């Protein structure tokens, strides 16, 4: 079995893969600098902010260096083995947990975004991550169950169950964790004196659509090769079947009519 197929099989079985040291210290230092620079210009009032837990959303839309980073050839080759040959970025965010930051309860990301298809979370450790500073916990195999029941707690969607045998991902700076948006996961409170930074990029297959993200869309790869371009539309946004799942038939036709007027990609 090749290394690529082994990664894909591991992801299929447990819903995540952890690759230590994927990025170098220098690469991560540059990314952190760019996140800090870009974050200064962003509106920071995410509804999920809580105390010293801060979310900086859609950074790549504001930064060419971050676009280049999340679309780089080496990353595209790695992702294509799991995601497939064609994909785009629906969202990115930096999650900063300072000392005293609270937990982020057990959940699946699809419970928050209400999407009908899964996507792929690339979680990049911008700082070392431990149990003490708000580390990432995963429930291996939980992605195979589909969307489980959640309830609302404040601004959070919280899974109705707590996994019996979760796994803590202790990550060094530059490690990556790729996991399914249907993976049950949790981050603990930061009871240390350190800051914990994670940069999360959400990739989605090009046949899948997100009605809540406005174009232009960052198309990352086609046929397994990097294309890195912003587009007014893409395969999923022009697919009647994908659109009907959100808008019904009449709404889907209306969307396609509007899309056709916007110089289709």
Span 199-217, pLDDT tens digits? 999 999 999 999 999 889 9
Name the band, by pLDDT with cuts 50, 70 and 90, for residue 54: confident
Name the band, by pLDDT with cuts 50, 70 and 90, for residue 14: very high
Average pLDDT, the chain: 92
Q: Are residues 192 and 236 in the same domain?
A: no
Flag the least confident range among 47-51, 155-159, 190-194, 243-247. 47-51
Q: Are residues 124 and 252 in the same domain?
A: no
Give the SS3 label for residue 109: helix
What share of residues in the chain are helix, strand, coil (percent, to 5)?
Answer: 30, 30, 40
Name the band, by pLDDT with cuts 50, 70 and 90, for residue 47: low
Q: Are residues 160 and 67 in the same domain?
A: yes
Q: Are residues 146 and 247 in the same domain?
A: no
Span 63-114, pLDDT tens digits? 999 999 999 999 999 999 999 999 999 999 998 999 999 999 999 999 999 9
Domain that holds residue 262: 232-265
Q: Are residues 125 and 251 in the same domain?
A: no
Give the SS3 label for residue 44: coil
Question: Residue 138: its pLDDT value, please?
Answer: 98
Q: Roughly what angle, to the nearest 10 degrees, separates helices 3-14 and 73-83?
A: 50
Is the bond preceding residue 181 a cis peptide, omega within 30 degrees? no
Q: How many structural domains comprise the chain? A: 2
Q: Are residues 190 and 247 in the same domain?
A: no
Question: Residue 44: its pLDDT value, please?
Answer: 57
Question: Residue 38: its pLDDT value, please?
Answer: 87
Q: Are strands 87-97 and 53-57 parallel, antiparallel or unpaired?
A: antiparallel
143 CB contacts (<8 Å, ≥6 apart)? 15, 118, 179, 180, 182, 183
Q: Are residues 72 and 184 in the same domain?
A: yes
E strand segments, the chain: 16-19, 53-57, 87-97, 104-107, 120-125, 136-138, 150-153, 156-159, 167-169, 176-180, 185-187, 196-205, 217-222, 225-231
Torsion sign (Cα): 183, 214, 94, 82:
positive
Q: Are residues 17 and 84 in the same domain?
A: yes
pTM: 0.93
Q: Are residues 262 and 185 in the same domain?
A: no
CA 148, CA 108: separation in Å to the nearest integer?
A: 8
Span 241-256, pLDDT tens digits? 999 999 999 999 998 8
Name the band, by pLDDT with cuts 50, 70 and 90, for residue 262: low
Span 219-238, pLDDT tens digits? 999 999 999 999 999 999 99
Q: Are residues 145 and 243 in the same domain?
A: no
């Amino acid at each position: 079995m090749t290394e690529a197929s082994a990664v894909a099989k591991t992801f299929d079985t447990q819903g995540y893969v952890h690759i230590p040291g994927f990025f170098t210290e220098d690469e991560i230092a540059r990314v952190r600098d760019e996140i800090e620079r870009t974050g200064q210009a962003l509106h920071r009032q995410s509804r999920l902010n809580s105390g010293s837990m801060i979310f900086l959303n859609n950074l790549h839309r504001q930064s060419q260096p971050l676009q280049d980073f999340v679309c780089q050839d080496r990353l595209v080759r790695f992702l294509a083995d799991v995601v497939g040959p064609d994909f785009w970025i629906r969202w990115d965010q930096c999650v900063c947990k300072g000392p005293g930051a609270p937990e982020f309860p057990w959940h699946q990301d699809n419970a928050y975004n209400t999407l009908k298809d899964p996507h792929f979370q690339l979680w990049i450790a911008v700082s070392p991550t431990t149990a003490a500073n708000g580390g990432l916990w995963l429930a291996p195999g939980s992605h195979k169950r589909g969307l489980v029941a959640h309830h609302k707690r404040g601004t959070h969607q919280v899974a109705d169950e707590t996994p019996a045998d979760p796994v803590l991902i202790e990550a060094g700076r530059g490690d990556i964790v790729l996991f399914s948006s249907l993976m049950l996961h949790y981050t603990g409170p930061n009871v240390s004196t350190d800051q914990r930074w994670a940069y999360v990029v959400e990739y989605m297959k090009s046949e899948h659509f997100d009605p809540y993200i406005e174009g232009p869309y960052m198309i990352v790869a086609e046929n397994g090769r990097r294309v890195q371009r912003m587009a007014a539309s893409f395969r999923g946004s022009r697919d009647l079947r994908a659109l009907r799942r959100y808008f019904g038939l009449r709404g889907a036709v209306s969307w396609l009519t509007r899309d056709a007027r916007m110089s289709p990609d």
